[in-house]
Structure 1
């Protein structure tokens, strides 16, 4: 099942995709797709619906964040060995964790806005893992049972802020609009193996990233288990699991970064496609 939210910012309607890929309005069933709606019982209720009985939503409507009320946006760094190599960093012995502020989160096709003074804004296609049941000190064997579904994430990053401004990665990861998510959540029952998903990202039609979750250093089950030792994971929390090689920072002989007018397009097998246009600093694109 693919669930999403359709409509203008602040006025999104809950929806699911039917067999033909058309968005069906869930408003008569639930007021919104929230963290609570991602729990197993709620998903089972939605799964039992006949999509053909639900009203169609407009084909050209904005796709918003797939769910409302994400409590934590936890990310994993250097989780692909070849990306660590292009970054000039060692393969980690344990997962490298950082957070993105939930205020970074935008719809899959919303504008990405370069921060004031940025010179090194970069792209990263990543597999997102959406939590469906509370996870605290869970085993690797039980970890995937706590996952509601999966989605595409673009972990947009300002490399100067991240690496050259005196400390934590969060500075370069937490800027407004730096977390496009979606277009939808694909529920876990439809993803046979999250470690067998191809992924890619293009900028202006040139394919910079081409990889697979097969080459993760730490797989999804390991990550959910590991993270649950340090913080309780609740329904609606999001884990972004790292990126394969091909980021702008790694382009040889000279790093390449995003500029106004660039168009990013990215996809993960079975999880949909995102497309964002990059804009110069404009608070109206963030708040509007």
Structure 2
């Protein structure tokens, strides 16, 4: 596989998000975002395709993303949402998987009241359906979910799982443990992958361009060491990245990650971290990108 891939970005319509995140006070992202907004950033960064990820736990939002992907050549894969514990979850998953660019599912674990929601045999039928349709699992988790995620991943060793945003470590307060130990356990499982995304946002609103690299580098190094050049994939988390605009924009986040990964993994790893791994995980090829 070839091509530079942004493994994590969002599009949304703000009028469909009443009562949901983002709140109006986050004015940098409290508006509509669509392909025309991202296109110049992709061109400037020489990014060939993206993975479009859900941001609402609704069938309507997933349908919106699938329809948008059909008309957007740069979208190579869609990660949607299905109620994985619904009685008809296998049928819903089959319907989702029938879309040309459907490649994965993501329950919004960080927003659920039960931190152990994922550690439940009630998900087994849904996971069987995901494997049947070659879908991956995006884990939107925080450090408090990592033990339950480990149990889930052990129960389903044949399910490809990718951890979004490095599991959102507490970068703002400089806390490495217990996040690091939990991530080490997860990285020991061969079906676990990780996205190098979202870290500037986790650095906090006080982070600025002159210190964000210092704050985030220990976490980037940890992810590089744990997941290596074959299981780490870069993502922008755009437009959420705009919340961290004081640190820089799309191109600055990309350049910082390229620099760190070249240092920690070697220049030869960049093709995989910034494209190849996402292409393999999400089964993206030139045809799925509309090329």
TM over 0.5: no
Counting strand residues as a fraction of each chain, which structure ranks higher? 1
TM-score by length of 1: 0.28
**Greater share of helix residues, 1 or 2?**
2
Larger RCO (alpha carbons 8 Å, 6+ apart): 1
